[in-house]
Structure 1
């Protein structure tokens, strides 16, 4: 099943959805600590980056600084689609909202400052409306 590639359709159909909770980025040496279920993992030479629920990081005594809201773009985007990340980033950057993007097989996921997450969803909904 392939995803959408046409930028106008991606933008107009993105349906941003704010997932409940607070998420943090942390790093560990070795593997994922027992009992922890990350929503994102990235292996880097410096260590394993984990994006986890804040309360899980607290329970595991993991250090973090950035607290994020997690927005899922519900459109099924093709991994080779061009322009979606740029358009979304441009919209959020114009409002002073930082954005960390992770692509899954089916959807794109945005991690934005938690206190700005609801406003970021509203900005993206506006972008979708203007793109329709």
Structure 2
């Protein structure tokens, strides 16, 4: 399936899915400790940011202060598509829900406060319905 660029089809087809577990952002300055399976890594001047399951971070003794739910938008979005991130983050911001977005090659991934993750999925489903 080819990636989607049309904003209307991106919104109606996003099918937000809450992944199981709690995820945290942690930073390491060297190699990640053994036993971690990061779902995201970002190299920054300050170190390597890892998004990992909270249990893994706790076991490895990694400091963290933000516990997130991980939502995957199941639509295959093109990396050069315009408007999906803006529409999604605006809908969440209007509800007072923070959102950290990571784009993978096939899907967009949202990290929202864990305690509001189910609410965020519902809001995104409503956004998809309004776009249809």
TM bracket (short chain): over 0.9
Alpha-carbon distance between aligned partners in 2 of 1:62 and 1:11, rounded to the nearest angstrom: 36
Q: For the aligned residues, what is the CA RMSD?
A: 0.7
Worse-superposed segment, 27-36 or 46-55 = 27-36
Once the two structures are superposed, the pairs formed by residues 78-97 of structure 1 within 5 Å of their partners are 78-97=78-97
For structure 1, which runs of at least 5 residues remain unmatched after alignment? none
List alignment gaps of at least 5 residues for structure 2.
Answer: none
Deviation digits for residues 70-91 of structure 1 (CA, Å, limit 9, x no counterpart): 0000000000000000000000
TM-score (norm 1): 0.98
Q: Aligned partners of 2:84 and 2:13: how far apart in 1? A: 11
Give the alignment of 1:1-132 within 5 angstroms. 2-132=2-132
| Counterpart-to-counterpart distance in 2, 1:2 and 1:105 | 12
* TM-score, with length taken from structure 2: 0.98
Paired residues, number: 132
Show CA shifts across 1:97-120 (max 9, x none).
Answer: 000000000000000000000000
